[in-house]
Amino acid sequence: MASQTYKAWSVVTASTTAFTVCFMVWMMFAVIGIPIKQNLGLNETQFGVLVALPVLTGSLIRLPLGMWTDRYGGRIVFFILMLSTVFPIWLISRATEFWHFLVTGLFVGVAGGSFTVGIAYCARWFARERQGLAMGIFGVGNTGAAVTKLVAPTIVVAFGWAMVPQVYAVLMLITAIAFWFFSYTDEEHSAGAGQVTMREQLAVLKDLTVWRYSQYYSIVFGGY
């Protein structure tokens, strides 16, 4: 049987890899949006909406995803999150109208919520004095946005923009399956999760400090 230490680092490794892929997908429209704009003759406003919509979805869904992670555990939530995006990602390659891209972009944006799930999931496997290290390693997954800006243009030039969502859909599916096999369920979390009520979870929104930190984050990450 695997030791607790092995499980903890396996969870961090699997989560960081999954987070990287999710952020690759989340930022996909920043690259393929350019040829899509040219093909559909979009104006600047339409192009802005196309690129921003997945980011908006990924941001707004973080609250419920965080609540579900607290209640059901990070492993199952992360796994379902990734699987739920595979088909919408693939559908992007078949889209022909502006609204097609907007609808699929809404679902693809869910991948951006992986940050919230992974942070809570990884932190539970470590003592308080080592949680910063674990979450710092997990945060490296932000590089997925940069990876997309390196990889996606190469695919676009070689095979056309439609190949990017096809490749990413397959990559997301493989990553989700690998994540499930290399991650673990925190039994202590599972045992106590059902005791947390939604009212208790939402009580944190009464704390003004939470809202202040949210604004700091919106400026810092928004600039990124």
Q: Can you tell me which residue has the tokens 């960081």?
A: 16
* Interval 45-96: pLDDT, tens: 999 999 989 988 888 899 899 889 988 889 999 999 999 999 999 999 999 9
pLDDT in tens, 147-162: 999 999 999 999 999 9
Find the largest Cα–Cα distance for the chain: 58
Give 203's pLDDT tier (boundaries 50, 70, 90).
confident
Q: What is the pLDDT of residue 64?
A: 92
Query: What does the DSSP 8-state code read for residue 41?
Result: T
The Cα–Cα gap between 28 and 131 comes to: 30
**Cα separation, 47 vs 98, whole angstroms:** 10
pLDDT at 193 over 80: no
Q: What is the pTM of this model?
A: 0.90
The pLDDT tens digits for 22-45 are 999 998 998 999 999 999 999 999
Average of per-residue pLDDT across 194-217: 84
DSSP string for residues in 122-156: HHTTS-HHHHHHHHHHHHGGGGHHHHHHHHHHHHH
Q: What is the mean pLDDT of residues 201-224?
A: 86
Nearest to 179 by CA among 58, 5, 11: 11
Q: Look at residue 65 in the predicted model and tell me its pLDDT.
A: 93
Indicate if the pLDDT at residue 191 is higher than 80.
no
Among candidates 71, 146, 144, 136, which has minimal Cα distance to 112?
Answer: 144
pLDDT digits (tens, 9 = 90+) for 89-141: 999 999 999 999 999 999 899 999 999 999 999 998 998 888 999 999 999 99
Contacts by 4-12 with C-beta closer than 8 Å and gap 24+?
Answer: 4/125, 7/125, 7/184, 8/125, 8/126, 8/134, 10/182, 10/183, 10/184, 11/75, 11/121, 11/122, 11/125, 11/183, 11/184, 12/122, 12/125, 12/134, 12/137, 12/138
* pLDDT confidence tier of residue 1, bands split at 50, 70 and 90: low
